[in-house]
A and B are shown apart, each in its own frame.
Chain A
Amino acid sequence: MTGNNLADYLTLGLLMFSIGAVGVIVRRNPVVIFMCIELMLNAVNLTFLAFARYMPSSAPASGREASFMSGQMMVIFVMAVAAAEVAVGLGIIMAIYRLRKDVDVDEMNLMSG
């Protein structure tokens, strides 16, 4: 933790986030797409932790009880939510696979226009 400053973490987070976003758009396998989304979520977690760690005492905290450690709390909840989304997403992908033996998202445009 010594030496690095906040900017480094934020930059890393931003790069991870951007890679994830681009991945969502260029990949065709829903599982991979979802992995990219997970990457974005992890980038968010990194950002949260970085902010929480470097939260300056001069920051205009609202002085409410919940503001302390709320960054870390948020990270845990994000992880939980991500897990839930994984479960549901894999379930949906399984259902589609059972239905059409094929999970390419570019094959799925029954509905358009």
Chain B
Amino acid sequence: MGGTNIELIGWVPALPLIGFLVQALLGKRIVDFFGERFGKKLMGTLAVLPVFAAFVLAAGIGMTLSEMGPLANNQVVTYFDWIRISGLHVPYEIVVDPLSITMALVVTGVGALIHLYATGYMAEERDYTRFFTYMNLFIGAMLILVLGNNLALMFIGWEGVGLCSYLLIGFWYKDLANAKAANKAFIVNRIGDWGFMLGMFTIVAFIATNAERISPRTDRLLSFDAILPALTTLLHDHPAIATVIGLLLFVGAMGKSAQFPLYLWLPDAMAGPTPVSALIHAATMVTAGVVMVNRMHVVFEFSPVASGWVAIVGCVTAIFAALVAFGQTDIKKVLAYSTVSQLGYMFVACGVGAYWAGMFHVVTHAFFKALLFLGSGAVIHAMAHEQDMRWYGNLRKYVPITWLTMTIGWLAIIGFPYLFAGFYSKEAIIGGALGNHHAELFGAPVGVYTGWLLLFGALLTSAYMTRLTFLTFNSGAERWMNPATYEEAGTDHHPHDDHAHAHRHHAHHGEDAHGFFYTEEEMARREALAPHDHHHGLTVEHRPREVSPSMWVPLAVLAALSTGVTGYLMHHGETFKHWLYPPTTYNETGLSMIRNEPVVHAEALTGHPHGWVGSALVFLSVGAMLIGAIYGYLVYFRRLPAREGFDLKRWSGFRRAAREQFYYDGFMLKFFVTQGGAAVGNVLAGMDKYVVDGVVNACGWLASGLGGFFRQFQTGYVRAYALVMLIGGVALLVYFATVGQGVAR
């Protein structure tokens, strides 16, 4: 296995794409041909196989790579030229290095598991093959994103995954909420793409203008192996440029990875099928931003300012999303906000220079968050598609396997010491932040502050995750059976009424943003028509049953991956860190002889601050975890406040605010998306406000005015046209006779 040829890497993205073609072209026919049941089984297998094969191949290549040693494990496989215009050369090339292979393994591995899960979860879906068409296409695009060796290929993958996410969120496009969520995702992501593209162009322009200073001269102005050394050489004396490029790229990352100002598409994206949420909106696509920052970390290392902003944005996102998660009652929404919060952790790691810790958390988070999502999917499946936790309770009796696996996921995400994977990565991040000397803003070591804030974030995390677990699996009675014991909001009515209420509530609440293609009235009408409680069968007599093996087997595997074994293996002896950033490739002066990348600060790399903090770090994080867990246990299991006669109403204000994301979402939507009728126009409006602040609008007025003016000459009379032509011809001749010798060389 270790002898796998690196050249085969091309097949890793190719296989899922082939699967995509098979699903797209043959899918429906095959299902019709073999009949519903067998046809679906066949197509499901055909959907899982290529992803799994890609995983095996990637694993083999990874082994080959690990045998190569730190000095050689950075290969580029070039296939053929793509663009070769004057001064710019972009070939099709794949980079095989620890970073790309790690991501490829995560994408294909977790992807294969989730595909397997989806074969069961989507079993009774009518457009079975359409679903897997999109899923395979997504895997292919994501692999292009992580494997491509130049920014252009990365951008193609970037757009591709965006498209698939858009299609899959809107998969049940009959349902209005999904269509609208899909459109919000589309709109917000355009803003991110704009940042990415500007960053890309800036890099090209910057290198092209200082081309004479880099050696060897190259016109591959987008290829990582060419531009990273070039940037290393050039950015030394252009820190400002480094900041600009860094911030622009980070805007792109913010869009894709749902960071604070632009996070608001991710929670709504939960409208899609649960496997999609697990694969795209938890495990892989949303981490693309982190991967990109890791890939381009040279830029950020030269700009403490950009790094500082990355850290701050990440930290704000982490805390904010964690607070919002308290207000959510929809189980998938809670997980969505926890995803946003965890992504914040990763960006803090990147901001403070502990890039490897960010990737570490990407990997572990992929495992346990996919696990949690799939588990929640199993619960929703078992509870007749009721997603409101307030109607769960005591489910561990009914769905033991799901309960067991999700408990592991819970322990992993709250960072239960040493036994679970989350602990290692989170501790590495917090340590890296506390020990940071890299990110600086106005002279202040923002990294350290973010470190302390993240400790508080860990507390919050463990609190709301405990809430989720207990509300769902423990906490005494089965609430959907006797609505009287409705615990959180104090009111008691049947799920359906409450559901309706929730929807009435949604109507004025921002998260149901305006749809891409709808005008206001249109929206209102569809609100009336749209089937709100589609597949909504939760009744008092309901008895949940455990899900089929094709669904719990992936759960078990992911649970195994989320245990401390993974974390220990990757963390012990700093294996993972040295796999990503081999220390031997750095010399004392900070610049590497081999990869020509600047060294990150030793403390940041070790992820262990010195002094008392360093020694107390474990206790600090464990303490935070315990406080949060105990709080959750007391409040949501023992119901301490209720027993002590504590007035819950006093907290309802915070809860409502949190449920509405502290009114941020609604504000943003009113401000950007709601304007104008159809949302293509909205994209424009939002862009205008973002980019050029209405100047474009003014130009628009002027332009249409001029257009109206020129339009008057279009009288519709043949003779008038002939006259204009004649005048034009005469003018041409006169111009020839008089002017001349003008432009030409």
Contact = CB atoms under 8 A, between A and B. Distances in A.
Nearest to A37: B722
A93 to B, nearest CB: 12
Interface string B371-403: 000000000000000000000000000000000
Contact of B716 (A24, A33, A111): A111
Nearest to B708: A113
A91 to B, nearest CB: 17
A105 B717 contact: yes
A111 B721 CA distance: 13
Contact of B714 (A28, A33, A112): A112
A109 B711 CA distance: 14
B716 A112 contact: yes
B723 A25 contact: yes
B422 to A, nearest CB: 66
A26 B726 CA distance: 13
A109 B717 contact: yes
B169 to A, nearest CB: 42
B430 to A, nearest CB: 67
B537 to A, nearest CB: 58
Contacts of B716: 108-113
A113 B714 contact: yes
B719 A106 contact: yes
B717 to A, nearest CB: 6
A109 B726 contact: no
Contacts of B719: 24-26, 28, 33, 105-106
Interface in B690-745: 711, 714-719, 722-723, 726
A24 B711 CA distance: 23
Interface residues of A, number: 14
A28 B722 CA distance: 12
Contacts of A113: 711, 714, 716
Nearest to A111: B716
Contacts of B726: 21, 25
Contacts of A106: 717, 719
Contacts of B717: 105-106, 109, 112
B718 A108 contact: yes
Contacts of A110: 716
Interface string A97-113: 00000000110111111
Nearest to B711: A113
Nearest to B719: A25
Contacts of B714: 112-113
Interface string A9-50: 000000000000100111010000100000000000000000
Nearest to A24: B722
A20 B723 CA distance: 13
Q: Which of B711, B715, B719, B726 has the most CB of A within 10 A?
A: B719
A99 to B, nearest CB: 17
23 contacts: A21-B726, A24-B719, A25-B719, A25-B723, A26-B719, A28-B719, A33-B718, A105-B718, A105-B719, A106-B717, A106-B719, A108-B716, A108-B718, A109-B715, A109-B716, A110-B716, A112-B714, A112-B715, A112-B716, A112-B717, A113-B711, A113-B714, A113-B716
Enumerate the 5 nearest inter-chain pairs by beta-carbon distance, A residue then B residue, closest first.
Answer: A112-B716, A109-B716, A105-B718, A25-B723, A25-B719
